[in-house]
Amino acid sequence: MIDLPAPNPATLAARERIVAGLRALLPESGVIAEALRLKPYEADGLSAYRQVPLAVVLPETTEQVASVLRFCHENGVRVVPRGAGTSLSGGALPLADAVVVGLMRMNRILAIDYADRLAVVEPGVTNIGITEAVRGAGFFYAPDPSSQLACMIGGNVNMNSGGAHCLKYGVTANNLLGLKIVTIDGEIIEIGGAHLDAAGYDWLGILTGSEGQLAIVTEVTVRILRGPEGARAMLVAFRGNEIAGACVDAIITSGIIPVALEFMDRPAIHACEAFAHAGYPLDAEAMLIIEVEGSIAEQDDLLARIGAICRRFDPISLRISQSAEESAAIWKGRKGAFGAIGRISPDYLCMDGTIPTGRLPEVLRRIGEMSESYGLKVANIFHAGDGNLHPLIMFDANDPESFHRAEAFGADILKLCVEVGGCLTGEHGVGVEKRDLMTVQFNSVELDQQRRIKTAFDPDWLLNTAKVFPLTAALAPAVPHAA
């Protein structure tokens, strides 16, 4: 288990005064302090970790967020920002002495501009909510994390969320134009705007993916894109992981970038097929879902080019979707992968490393060996074009020993990702889950450099404390350069 810092006794002792102070700043329904009503906020998507917060506030305006942060800053109270609470890394896990700032009531779409191809939204708008608002005009918001029905854009910004289609369209950071943020001392600052490049330091870049360490986001200007004329998926099954991996390389080096290129190994294929009945090939060791876009003729042309490449790798089967319904069924299996695993295992950990794509066969082989030595099953889903690997480790949460083994297995996988030249997290974020592994990827000079940036925004380390940075030093506010 990951350690959380001991709560500040002075804060706990001042709880009533703090709650009263917050009540003075917000409408009556905007402050939650009753034990029973705090309970739903005790965890996020990393549900093995739970902690009821000191209080929850639900502001409705940027000014309310500013007043809450100013109050917390003046009183030395820690703050945990929260959107929909779908983080898989514990990014929104509360602390006992922290106020959770829930942004779900700030859920309005403020502006849509098709000529300039942007939308201005509040942080509590769901990811899919943006696309739904612009779909009628043929537009969409590109990043599509699997949690897109629930997750909120504020959380997407803070975790720099990706998705299955970011091979072509990029991740959240590539699809933002502007932010409104509130700093820990309650200052409201606008970053970027409706234009493409901003001047000065890339504040948008450093804030995106900062996991609530630097500021709270209260407004987001996103790029919206015109959707393609159509899209179609192809499903190709192979006799081995190495063969499928080599096929991915061949497609990319041929000059084709499919809009999505998803890889599933044998356990993942079986679990997802049992769930989605998408006609996945159960005799295959590995399977690729390849999606292309364009007019029907363009789809035919691209699928023919890709199909010709795949045939060089002796596929067991190669199936081109014949209809929108068939494409949807193919994607249902992939997008429902987490639920599918949940049906065959009471609990699972979803890991999220990235590796150089050329190392996939070797990494899968070594994960297989670890699976045997830990005695835990694993299914692998992989954004093959960009190297983002999602091993799903199955365990039984009722058995604490099984959970500890699963955590150790996961840590070993992430260390392997770093060892082969990759990183700890491709899209889920460090959160609390991977915090103590940061020393595997970064040395102390590099971590201190990041910590000093945190300090530049949040000198007292009140924002989302005990996440991202390994604990001991994370609670030492300033990290000056050695003389």
Partner 1 sequence: MSTLAPAEEAAIAQAIGEARARATPLLLAGHATKDGVLRPVQAETTLSLKNHAGVTLYAPNELIISARAGTTLAEIEALVASAGQQIIAEPPDLTALLGTEGAQTLGGVVACNLSGPRRVTAGAMRDHVMGLRAVNGAGEIIRAGGRVLKNVTGLDLCKLLTGSFGTLAAITEITLKVLPAAETMATLVLPGLAARGGVAALSAALGAPFGASAAAWLPRAQAERVAELAPFAAAVALVRVEDFRPSVSYRGERLRALLTEFGAAEILDEAASRAVWRAVRDAAPLGEGEGNDAVWRVSVRPSAGPDIVAVVETLGGRCFLDWGGGLAWIAAEASAATHRAITQAARAAGGVWWLMRAPDALRASLDVVPAEPAPLAAIARRVKAAFDPAFILNPGRIHAGL
Min dist. Cβ of residue 450 to partner 1 (A): 5
Nearer to partner 1, 224 or 286 (CB): 224
390, β-bridge pairs: 381
78, β-bridge pairs: 98
Nearer to partner 1, 58 or 337 (CB): 337
Min dist. Cβ of residue 309 to partner 1 (A): 13
DSSP per position, 277-329: -----TT-SEEEEEEEESSHHHHHHHHHHHHHHHHTT--SEEEE--SHHHHHH
Look at residues 103, 109, 87 and name the one whose alpha carbon lies nearest to residue 43: 87
Nearer to partner 1, 1 or 297 (CB): 297
Nearer to partner 1, 18 or 176 (CB): 176
Counted residue by residue, the chain has a size of: 483
Min dist. Cβ of residue 481 to partner 1 (A): 5
Nearer to partner 1, 271 or 432 (CB): 432
Nearer to partner 1, 123 or 429 (CB): 429
Min dist. Cβ of residue 472 to partner 1 (A): 17
Nearer to partner 1, 273 or 458 (CB): 458
Strand pairing class (388-395; 347-350)? antiparallel
Dig out the tokens for 423 from the structure. Answer: 């990183």
Min dist. Cβ of residue 166 to partner 1 (A): 7
Dig out the tokens for 165 from the structure. Answer: 């289609």
Dig out the tokens for 30 from the structure. Answer: 């905007």
CA quadruple 370, 374, 379, 382: dihedral sign? negative
What is the distance between the alpha carbons of residues 302 and 237, in angstroms, rounded to a whole number?
18
Min dist. Cβ of residue 214 to partner 1 (A): 8
Nearer to partner 1, 102 or 422 (CB): 422
Look at residues 222, 230, 227 and name the one whose alpha carbon lies nearest to residue 139: 227
Min dist. Cβ of residue 449 to partner 1 (A): 5
Min dist. Cβ of residue 238 to partner 1 (A): 17
Nearer to partner 1, 9 or 200 (CB): 200
Neighbours of 422 (CB within 10 A): 22
Min dist. Cβ of residue 371 to partner 1 (A): 23
* Distances from the Cα of 283 to the Cα of 127, 200, 273, 301, 483, angstroms: 36, 55, 12, 28, 63
**Cβ(204)–Cβ(198) below 8 Å:** yes
Neighbours of 164 (CB within 10 A): 23
Min dist. Cβ of residue 372 to partner 1 (A): 27
What is the distance between the alpha carbons of residues 101 and 414, in angstroms, rounded to a whole number?
31
Helix ranges (DSSP H) in 336-462: 337-344, 360-374, 400-419, 438-441, 444-457
Nearer to partner 1, 36 or 115 (CB): 115
Nearer to partner 1, 3 or 446 (CB): 446
80, β-bridge pairs: 100
Min dist. Cβ of residue 352 to partner 1 (A): 9
Q: 156-159 contacts: CB < 8 A, separation 24 or more?
A: 156/127, 157/123, 157/207, 157/208, 157/217, 157/220, 158/81, 158/83, 158/91, 158/208, 158/209, 158/210, 158/211, 158/212, 158/217, 158/429, 159/87, 159/89, 159/91, 159/209, 159/211, 159/427, 159/428, 159/429
CA quadruple 329, 335, 341, 346: dihedral sign? negative
